[in-house]
């Protein structure tokens, strides 16, 4: 009975309610005044639409610090992931296509890097950064984002499937240098894989919370994540109920572009997830 068309669709629909209702709550709550946030049902509209007021309040709060957090996040996650992907694709291509001594031993080092859990690195990174004078600086959060071992692994897989050996042979016959061949011929062929690797590392840096939490104390250096956490905490512990709403609206503004990017770049996501699962 359950396995009728209607039954299957109903079960999927139920699961969809679970995934979408919290996001609906976020959207609706962002349009409410503070009174309505506490006074009306979370899955219903408030008395009046307060979205514009909430947004201007968000961007003006604490001297406009939210915009700073957004810019920081773009730098940490956007620029960081971009560089990490370039380095990752270069290394992955070298592992796939070039012959050099000690290759597999070096690659097992990469795999070791994949296995070390990211948050277990936070305190070691903090201790080293303290020694190097990088605690509470932009670089303390930015530099760790430049390394993405799983990206090297993915790049090796992508290079093996996107770049045919014959093409390289032909380029070598023509006398093109290896480096030129990589830049002009191989890199464009790996480009879709590059986008995938970028997306993975971008989300990873966007998601990181432990590292910026221990590394940064200057509000002006925070990524959005940490800023929202601080607002939420102060709403809770220091009796600033208006910060509740700030954290809600701030979450919506941070999430909306991410969801848009995900929807646009769906296919790159899938190729990375399945490439990781096949091996």
Q: Which stretch binds other proteins (CB under 8 A): 55-63, 64-72, 158-166, 266-274?
A: 266-274
If binding is defined by CB under 8 A, does position 12 make contact with other proteins? yes
142-171: contacts with other proteins (CB under 8 A): 143-144, 146-147, 149, 152
Q: Among residues 47 and 262, whose Cβ is nearest to other proteins?
A: 262
81-120: contacts with other proteins (CB under 8 A): 86-88, 90-91, 93-94, 98-101, 106, 109-110, 112-113, 115-120
If binding is defined by CB under 8 A, does position 11 make contact with other proteins? yes
49-68: contacts with other proteins (CB under 8 A): none
If binding is defined by CB under 8 A, does position 79 make contact with other proteins? no
236-255: contacts with other proteins (CB under 8 A): 236-237, 244, 247-248, 251, 254-255
Report residue 222 as tokens: 């925070």
CB atoms within 10 A of CB 264: 9
169-228: contacts with other proteins (CB under 8 A): 172, 177-179, 182, 203, 206-207, 209-210, 213-214, 225, 228
Q: Which of 215, 194, 198 has its CA nearest to residue 206? A: 198
Shortest distance in whole angstroms from residue 53 CB to other proteins: 20
């Amino acid at each position: 009975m359950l396995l009728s068309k209607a039954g299957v669709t109903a079960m999927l629909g139920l699961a969809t309610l679970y995934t979408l209702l919290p996001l609906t709550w976020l959207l609706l709550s962002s349009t409410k005044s503070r009174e309505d946030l506490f006074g009306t049902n979370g899955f219903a509209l408030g008395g009046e639409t307060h979205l514009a007021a909430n947004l201007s309040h968000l961007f003006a709060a604490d001297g406009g610090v939210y915009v700073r957090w957004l810019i920081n996040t773009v730098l940490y996650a956007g620029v960081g992931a971009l560089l990490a992907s370039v380095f990752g694709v270069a290394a992955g291509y070298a592992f796939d296509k070039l012959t050099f001594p000690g290759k597999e031993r070096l690659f097992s080092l990469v795999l070791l890097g994949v296995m070390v859990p990211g948050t277990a690195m936070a305190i070691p990174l903090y201790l080293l950064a303290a020694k190097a004078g990088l605690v509470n600086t932009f670089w303390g959060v930015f530099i760790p984002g430049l390394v993405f071992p799983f990206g090297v692994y993915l790049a090796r897989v992508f290079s093996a499937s996107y770049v045919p050996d014959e093409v390289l042979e032909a380029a070598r016959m023509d006398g093109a240098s290896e480096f030129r061949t990589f830049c002009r011929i191989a890199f464009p062929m790996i480009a879709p894989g590059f986008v995938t690797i970028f997306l993975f590392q971008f989300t990873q840096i966007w998601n990181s919370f432990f590292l910026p939490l221990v590394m940064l104390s200057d509000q002006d250096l925070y990524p959005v994540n940490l800023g929202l956490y601080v607002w939420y905490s102060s709403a809770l512990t220091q009796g600033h109920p208006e910060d509740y709403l700030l954290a809600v609206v701030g979450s919506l503004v941070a999430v909306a572009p991410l969801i848009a990017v995900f929807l646009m770049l769906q296919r790159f996501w899938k190729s990375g997830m399945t490439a990781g699962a096949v091996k």
